[in-house]
Every structure is written in structure tokens, then in C-alpha cells.
Amino acid sequence: MVSKSQIKLITSLEQKKHRTKMGLFVVEGKKGIEEVLGSNFELHSLFTTQDIFNAPQDKTHLISEAELKKISRLKTAQIGLAVFEIPVQTEIKLDGLVIALDGVRDPGNLGTIIRLCDWFGVQTLLCSLDTVDCYNSKVVQASMGSITRVKIDYVDLPLFLKENNSHLKAGTFLEGENLFVSEIPKDSILILGNEAKGISEGIEKLVEKKINIPQFSNVKNTESLNVATATAILLSEFRRKENY
Amino acid sequence: MVSKSQIKLITSLEQKKHRTKMGLFVVEGKKGIEEVLGSNFELHSLFTTQDIFNAPQDKTHLISEAELKKISRLKTAQIGLAVFEIPVQTEIKLDGLVIALDGVRDPGNLGTIIRLCDWFGVQTLLCSLDTVDCYNSKVVQASMGSITRVKIDYVDLPLFLKENNSHLKAGTFLEGENLFVSEIPKDSILILGNEAKGISEGIEKLVEKKINIPQFSNVKNTESLNVATATAILLSEFRRKENY
């Protein structure tokens, strides 16, 4: 059974201010829940129509399809919904390549970028304070479990970059150096900008190396690449140079 | 003004069977409409609240916000909606690198892949018959105008690959050769598979070279990369090898 207060809690977690206040976030669907259960994230409560999860019994609530539908945000509710504790933010450690996002707003893009960091072994993902919250349910969904394996830190990005002196700050700009011939040191922060506006002026001033993904079409057009596909290309090229 | 028959036509174009029957598709929003107007696609009719487009007057219909809202599929209707003619499918020419999609179903993924083909100068995009229709409005939207610059052909993919002998057929598989050390000839067809199931069995038999994008994370996980980000990495690496 789901109590009224539980419904109220779960619904409130749709909003960032409540997630932050309560230190909790929601994961939906069998695969997503299993991924997070298998990580070191702490389970708060699990609501499921089938007792198939490897979770403590005292935190597991068997519920009906109708009850699940009531608390789910998905069009088609899937087996279960779990509430997990947001990990306490620990000291930021920069080791090797770091990705920094300057105002990425689309949940799907952030989820894809988290998944890419996981794939390419990037330990730390820095997000500016105006980047979409990584515990937004759409981000969690799109990250496919990678959110448990990548350390994500929200920081005052201009201040952070100004104070850091261990890493080279690199960013993508149309007038930048060709990515494929550019040398990017092992300890770098690669900065990616907002979907519409790119890297903000304040951050641009702090960039020490501008790089560009060359375009190969006959007809030049003004469109840039999507921020998630740009991240994919940058990470792949960085690891290639490092390893092959 | 929008007549009842015009509303009926526009609404019917939400369905693939009607788009195919009428040979027409819909583009919404200022930027998208301008991109397609500037291409060699033929305008059928334009409905707009502001007379700001460079389009023939006899095909331009000035309408009210309320009328636009009635015909728009967007949550927030934007300035105009245009109907264009679907180009007549001409002979398929394979010159240089070709991308082939085997059952890609997500409109956002197909749109992103069209945009990537445009960026990386891929002239021909082959789609299996069960790949989502490229004139679906979500695909058109996500392709950001690139749909006018990339030739997209829907074919019986297994038959087409079987009969082609000019190109090497390459595909992405977990057990494939490392992309970064693999040699891919100039005349290749790179095959990408369905979001959930990957490349189908029938197509796998026809693949002459299996390649893999290596994973660099410490914890191996079973998730693969999203099909659009995989395409980005493959195209970028192909062009790098060719040019640098």
C-alpha cells in the first residue's frame, strides 16, 4: 500500500527544491532500479507490483498496478518506483580528464553526457549552477544507470575554473584549433556550452585552449553539433590520442 | 485563412500513409521553414501569422494565431507551418562513405543522425523499411534543416546489401575490431542497428567487417552507446583517418 504521505513525498520530488530539501530522488522502471540498487546509493523506499528486486524487505512496499499508476510519472508505469538518497557531495577531486558543462538545459542531453562520461572513463563531471539538475527524473532515465558511476558536482563554474591551477581549460568554439591535430594534455577540463548560446562570455575568458570539431560538408551551414554528440566526439578523440 | 480542407490535409499528414499518398510533409517554426525554403524542395503551401518568409505570394496564407494553433502539432506554435513536397526518389548513387540504418525507431535519433551526415559530408543515408519515416515531423524538427542536404533512401536493406558489390559492409558489434586501429576503406557502408536489438540477424550475415567502439570505464557494464552518439564517433574517426 502507498500512504497519502508517501504519495505526497514522491510527487513533491518532481521539483528540484524538494529533492534538495529532502535529499531524495526517484528512479522508475525495472532496469533503472536494479542498476541503482546494485550501486552504493542508499535506498529510501521501493514501491513495486512484483517482489522481484534484491532490496531490504522493510523498505519494499508491494502495491497494485493502480497505485503504481498514481505515483508514476511515466506514460506507461513499469513494475516499480524507487526513492533513493542523493549522495552527500564530497570534496571535488580532479584526476585526469574532466568534463564541465556551462548551462546545459536539456535533461536528455545531460543524461546522454553522463552515459558518455561513464563509457569513456571520465570520473568527474562538473556542472554550472544553471545546468539542469542531474536528479531530474528525465536525466536519471536517460543516463541508464551511469549516474551511479560518475561523480557529478554542481559548482560556481567561473569561480571554480579561476581558482583551479592543475588543469588546462579547453572549450569548443567555431574559431578553435582543429580537434584532430590539437594536443590536449592529460589533465584538462573540457568545457561544453548551452544548447542555444554555447559557452558563456564569463567562461570564455577563462578558456586557455579553443578547439573546434571540423565540418566536412560541401555546403557550409551555420548549425553547430548537438552538445551531446560534440561530447561524444571530443571524448572519443581524447581517449584515442591517449591510447593508440 | 485556413479552409476546412486545408486543416484536414495538414492533420492527415501526421500519418505516414497520408504523407506517402499525397507526397507532402510538414515543417514548423521560423528557422526550419527558412532552411527548407532555401533548398531545392518545392513549397506546397505556407501558413503564417507574419509575412516574413521569402515565399511565392500565391502559396502564402496569412492566418491568425488561433488558426495556427489549430493546425500546429507543437506545444507552442511558432509563427508558421509549411507544407512541402517530398522529393521524388531518384536512383541511389553510392559514392564514398554511406551510412545505413537497420531499424532505427526513435525520431530524435534519426534526426540527429541526418544532422551528423550533413556535418560529416555523407551524401547518402540508407534506411531499412522499418526505420522511422524521415518526413515524420519530429525527425524533420530534430534534423534542423539537414534533411534538405542529405539524400535519404528507404530500401529493402538485406536485398540492397546483398546486391551491392562496390562497397565494404561494416557494422558495430561488441566483439568487433577496435575502431581506432581498424582500417575502413573509402567506399564503405557503415551499418548501425536498432536502439534495443542492434543489428538484425539477417543483416549481420552480410557484414564483412565488425567494428567496436572501445569502452574506457573501470567498471564494465553491458549498456551500449546510444545509436546517434555511436554514429557521431564513427563518422568523426572515419574523417580523421581520411584527412589527418
Q: Which of A85, A110, A131 is the last residue in one of the domains?
A: A85
The answer to whether residue B221 scores a pLDDT higher than 90 is no
When CB atoms are compared, the residue of B146, B219, B232 closest to A229 is B232
What is d(CA A18, CA A3) in angstroms, rounded to the nearest whole number? 19
When CB atoms are compared, the residue of A115, A178, A229 closest to B112 is A229
A102 and A78 in a single domain? The answer is no
Q: Residue A47 pairs with which residues in a beta bridge? A: A61, A81
The nearest CA of chain B is from the CA of A142 a distance in Å of 10
A114 and A221 in a single domain? The answer is yes
The answer to whether residue B222 scores a pLDDT higher than 70 is no
Residue range B54-93, pLDDT digits in tens: 999 999 999 999 999 999 998 887 899 999 999 998 999 8
B30: helix, strand or coil: helix
What is d(CA B167, CA B105) in angstroms, rounded to the nearest whole number? 25
Residue range A170-181, pLDDT digits in tens: 999 989 999 999
What is d(CA A71, CA A79) in angstroms, rounded to the nearest whole number? 12
A102 and A182 in a single domain? The answer is yes
Chain A residues in contact with B217 (beta carbon < 8 A): 118-121, 149
Please check whether residue B82 is in contact with residue B37, taking contact to mean a CB–CB distance below 8 angstroms: yes
Confidence (pLDDT) at B76: 83
When CB atoms are compared, the residue of B115, B223, B236 closest to A236 is B236
The 10 Å Cβ neighbour count of residue B156 is 11
Q: Evaluate whether residue A91 is within a structural domain.
A: no
Selected for mutation to probe chain B from A218, A240, A242 (highest B CB count within 10 Å) is: A240
Q: To the nearest whole number, what is the mean pLDDT of chain B?
A: 94
When CB atoms are compared, the residue of A181, A229, A240 closest to B116 is A229
Q: Evaluate whether residue B91 is within a structural domain.
A: no
Residue range B18-50, pLDDT digits in tens: 999 999 999 999 989 999 999 999 999 999 999
Q: Evaluate whether residue B185 is within a structural domain.
A: yes
Q: To the nearest whole number, what is the mean pLDDT of chain A?
A: 94
A130 and A227 in a single domain? The answer is yes
Q: Which of B55, B85, B115 is the last residue in one of the domains?
A: B85
What is d(CA A111, CA A107) in angstroms, rounded to the nearest whole number? 6
Q: Residue written as cell 581558482?
A: A163
The nearest CA of chain A is from the CA of B230 a distance in Å of 8
Chain A residues in contact with B229 (beta carbon < 8 A): 112, 116, 228-229, 232
What is d(CA A79, CA A65) in angstroms, rounded to the nearest whole number? 8
B105 and B202 in a single domain? The answer is yes
Q: Evaluate whether residue A90 is within a structural domain.
A: no
Residues of chain A in Cβ contact (below 8 Å) with chain B: 108, 112, 115-116, 118-121, 144-146, 149, 178, 180-181, 213-219, 221, 223, 225-226, 228-229, 232-233, 236-237, 239-240, 243-244
Confidence (pLDDT) at A222: 60
Residue B184 confidence class, pLDDT cut points 50, 70, 90: very high
What mean pLDDT comes out for the span B100-110?
97
Interface contact flag, B115 A180, Cβ < 8 Å: no
Angle value at C-alpha B88, between B11 and B92, nearest 5 degrees: 130
A67 and A21 in a single domain? The answer is yes
B134 and B57 in a single domain? The answer is no
Q: Evaluate whether residue B92 is within a structural domain.
A: no
The 10 Å Cβ neighbour count of residue B231 is 26
Please check whether residue B155 is in contact with residue B102, taking contact to mean a CB–CB distance below 8 angstroms: no
Q: Evaluate whether residue A179 is within a structural domain.
A: yes
**What does the block give as the cell for B178?**
577496435
Residue A75 confidence class, pLDDT cut points 50, 70, 90: confident
A164 and A224 in a single domain? The answer is yes
B25 and B139 in a single domain? The answer is no
Question: CATH number of the domain that A40 lies in?
Answer: 3.30.1330.30
Please check whether residue A108 is in contact with residue A60, taking contact to mean a CB–CB distance below 8 angstroms: no
What is d(CA B165, CA B163) in angstroms, rounded to the nearest whole number? 6
Residue A30 confidence class, pLDDT cut points 50, 70, 90: very high
Residue B126, classified by CB atoms within 10 Å of its CB into exposed (0-12), middle (13-18) or buried (19+), is: buried
Q: pLDDT > 70: what percent of chain B? A: 99
Q: Evaluate whether residue B50 is within a structural domain.
A: yes
B215: helix, strand or coil: coil
Interface contact flag, A225 B181, Cβ < 8 Å: no
The nearest CA of chain B is from the CA of A41 a distance in Å of 16
Confidence (pLDDT) at A76: 83
**What does the block give as the cell for A221?**
551551414
Interface contact flag, A226 B115, Cβ < 8 Å: yes
For B180, the closest chain A residue by CA position comes to A240
The answer to whether residue B156 scores a pLDDT higher than 90 is yes
Residue range A33-61, pLDDT digits in tens: 999 999 999 999 999 999 999 999 999 99
Q: pLDDT > 90: what percent of chain A? A: 89
Q: Give the residue among B134, B132, B114, B133 at the shortest CA–CA distance from B122.
A: B114
Question: CATH number of the domain that A115 lies in?
Answer: 3.40.1280.10
Strands of A188-193's sheet in order across: A151-155, A124-128, A98-102, A188-193, A168-178, A209-212
A56 and A107 in a single domain? The answer is no
Q: Which of A85, A107, A142 is the last residue in one of the domains?
A: A85
When CB atoms are compared, the residue of A121, A180, A229 closest to B218 is A121
**What does the block give as the cell for A50?**
512484483
Q: Which domain holds residue B30?
A: 4-85
Interface contact flag, B229 A225, Cβ < 8 Å: no
A168 and A215 in a single domain? The answer is yes
Interface contact flag, B226 A112, Cβ < 8 Å: yes
Selected for mutation to probe chain B from A123, A231, A233 (highest B CB count within 10 Å) is: A233
Interface contact flag, A213 B236, Cβ < 8 Å: yes
Q: Evaluate whether residue A238 is within a structural domain.
A: yes
Interface contact flag, B119 A216, Cβ < 8 Å: yes
Phi and psi for B156 in degrees, rounded to 5? -70, 95
Domain tally for chain A?
2
What is d(CA B117, CA B114) in angstroms, rounded to the nearest whole number? 5
Interface contact flag, B181 A233, Cβ < 8 Å: no
The nearest CA of chain B is from the CA of A4 a distance in Å of 32
B158 and B76 in a single domain? The answer is no
The answer to whether residue A77 scores a pLDDT higher than 80 is no
Interface contact flag, B217 A116, Cβ < 8 Å: no
